[in-house]
């Protein structure tokens, strides 16, 4: 049942479960000579880690990690890079109530039905704990992308019905200044209040993460099946709890006419650019040098405090109790995950692009 590897040249394999010994990853295909900044990997893991604020799950993990191979005197050697992140704060007995019953809208039923066995503790492999490995690998991908001037920035643009004013300029520098990771302080406070209210009620709420990529070279993306937006879509839809992906004008394009949607070409600063960017920086599946922008929609996650109607593994009626620590809203922690997955797609296409012409 192999589906734990992502990428064609820069290949990431992740392993591990929420309440096992730890989470880990192997990157095969990282070019040699990349300066591996361990402090940067740690700071990226810290942005994703549980227990970082009052609006996320209170599981405590310091996310310390060990690089086991592939790095010599601070530089990648071109051999497989292996990183291990031990689990420190498992409370597996908190999950004994779901050993026999399926939580509605979680992965319990489908894992059991498919494999006939499942590690139920903390959701096992289906837990978002696995995304720590993606964030560590994404940090290394970002180190390579930085060398060619690619910047990836994600932020929370909506929680429930609280959303940012689309006409306001985005203050990129302000994203990390509040616990919800929304660049607009006023909207951020409303989002925090809403998450706290939902948490008090023992419920969960959905949200949206927006992502902007600048400095992407022209020509990334491999038509026809590996179009850049298709690979970004796969990367985003592969993140736990994601329900929607749109790039450029997204679903709003449905209500537009070609005359308003078309991005007119212009010459600016000696380069071919477009006047508008409804294409979201990608045309025909290939980056066109304009900023790439997309949105990712996250559902209100399954774990709620009130008991829910369900069945047990024998099909008998049962109640799923809402015990265990959980996120009332995942988007503040999802921001670095979205960036990491985008970085993995871009670095892979950057390396693939080197084989296009001799």
Ligand X SMILES: Cc1cc2nc3c(=O)[nH]c(=O)nc-3n(C[C@H](O)[C@H](O)[C@H](O)COP(=O)(O)O)c2cc1C
For binding to ligand X (CB under 6 A), which residues are involved?
57, 106-107, 123, 126-128, 131, 239-241, 301-303, 326-327, 330, 333-334, 337
Shortest distance, position 34 Cβ to ligand X, whole Å: 27
Residue pair 57/67 in contact (Cβ under 8 Å)? The answer is no
Shortest distance, position 270 Cβ to ligand X, whole Å: 42
Residue pair 268/251 in contact (Cβ under 8 Å)? The answer is no
Shortest distance, position 86 Cβ to ligand X, whole Å: 19
Q: For ligand X, which is the closer residue by CB, 71 or 152?
A: 152
Q: What CA–CA distance (Å, rounded) separates 220 from 225?
A: 13
What's the gap between Cα 274 and its chain centre?
A: 29
Q: What CA–CA distance (Å, rounded) separates 328 from 303?
A: 8
Q: For ligand X, which is the closer residue by CB, 128 or 216?
A: 128
Shortest distance, position 248 Cβ to ligand X, whole Å: 24
Q: For ligand X, which is the closer residue by CB, 178 or 303?
A: 303
Residues whose CB falls within 8 Å of the CB of residue 328, separated by 6 or more in sequence, listed in order = 55, 56, 195, 198, 199, 203, 204, 205
Q: For ligand X, which is the closer residue by CB, 90 or 127?
A: 127
Which among 72, 113, 117 is positioned nearest to 99, based on CA atoms?
117
Q: For ligand X, which is the closer residue by CB, 55 or 107?
A: 107
Cα torsion angle, 333, 39, 17, 93, sign? negative
Q: What are the structure tokens assigned to 169, written together?
A: 């300029």
The distance in angstroms from the start CA to the end CA of the chain is 38
Q: For ligand X, which is the closer residue by CB, 27 or 302?
A: 302
DSSP class per residue in 209-275: EEEEEESPPTT--BTTTB-HHHHHHHHHHTSTTEEEEEETTGGGGGG--HHHHS--EEEETTEEEES
Residue pair 266/275 in contact (Cβ under 8 Å)? The answer is yes
Shortest distance, position 308 Cβ to ligand X, whole Å: 11
Shortest distance, position 301 Cβ to ligand X, whole Å: 3
Q: For ligand X, which is the closer residue by CB, 301 or 344?
A: 301
Q: What CA–CA distance (Å, rounded) separates 135 from 155?
A: 15
Q: For ligand X, which is the closer residue by CB, 118 or 333?
A: 333
Shortest distance, position 196 Cβ to ligand X, whole Å: 16
Shortest distance, position 168 Cβ to ligand X, whole Å: 26
How many alpha carbons fall within 13 Å on the CB side of residue 355?
8
């Amino acid at each position: 049942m192999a589906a734990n590897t992502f990428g064609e040249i820069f290949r990431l394999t992740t392993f591990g479960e929420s309440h096992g010994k730890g989470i880990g990853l192997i990157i095969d295909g990282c070019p040699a000579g990349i300066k591996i900044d361990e402090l940067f990997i740690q700071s990226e893991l810290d942005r994703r880690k549980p227990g970082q604020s009052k609006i996320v799950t209170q599981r405590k993990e310091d996310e310390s990690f060990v690089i086991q191979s592939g790095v010599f005197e601070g530089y990648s050697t071109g051999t497989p890079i292996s990183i291990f992140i031990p689990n420190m704060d498992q409370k597996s007995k908190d999950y004994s109530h779901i050993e026999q019953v399926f939580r509605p809208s979680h992965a319990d039923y489908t894992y059991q039905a498919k494999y006939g066995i499942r590690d139920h503790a903390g959701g096992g492999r289906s837990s978002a704990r696995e995304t720590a490995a993606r964030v560590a690998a994404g940090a290394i991908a970002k180190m390579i992308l930085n060398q060619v001037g690619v910047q990836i920035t994600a932020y929370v643009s909506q929680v429930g019905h609280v959303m940012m004013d689309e006409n306001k300029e985005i203050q990129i520098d302000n994203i990390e200044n509040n616990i919800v990771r929304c660049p607009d302080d006023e909207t951020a406070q409303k989002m925090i209040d809403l998450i706290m209210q939902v948490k008090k009620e023992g419920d969960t709420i959905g949200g949206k993460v927006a992502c902007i990529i600048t400095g992407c070279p022209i020509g990334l993306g491999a038509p026809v099946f590996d179009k850049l937006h298709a690979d970004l879509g796969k990367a985003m839809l592969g993140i736990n709890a994601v329900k929607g992906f749109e790039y450029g004008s997204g679903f709003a394009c449905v209500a537009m006419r070609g005359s308003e949607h078309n991005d007119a070409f212009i010459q600016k600063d000696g380069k071919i650019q477009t006047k508008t960017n409804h294409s979201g920086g990608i045309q025909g599946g290939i980056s066109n040098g304009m900023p790439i922008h997309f949105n990712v929609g996250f559902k209100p996650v399954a774990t709620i405090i009130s008991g829910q109607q369900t069945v047990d593994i024998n099909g008998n009626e049962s109640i799923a109790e809402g015990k265990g620590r959980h996120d009332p809203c995942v988007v503040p922690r999802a921001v670095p995950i979205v960036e990491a997955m985008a970085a993995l797609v871009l670095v892979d296409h950057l390396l693939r692009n080197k084989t296009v012409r001799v």
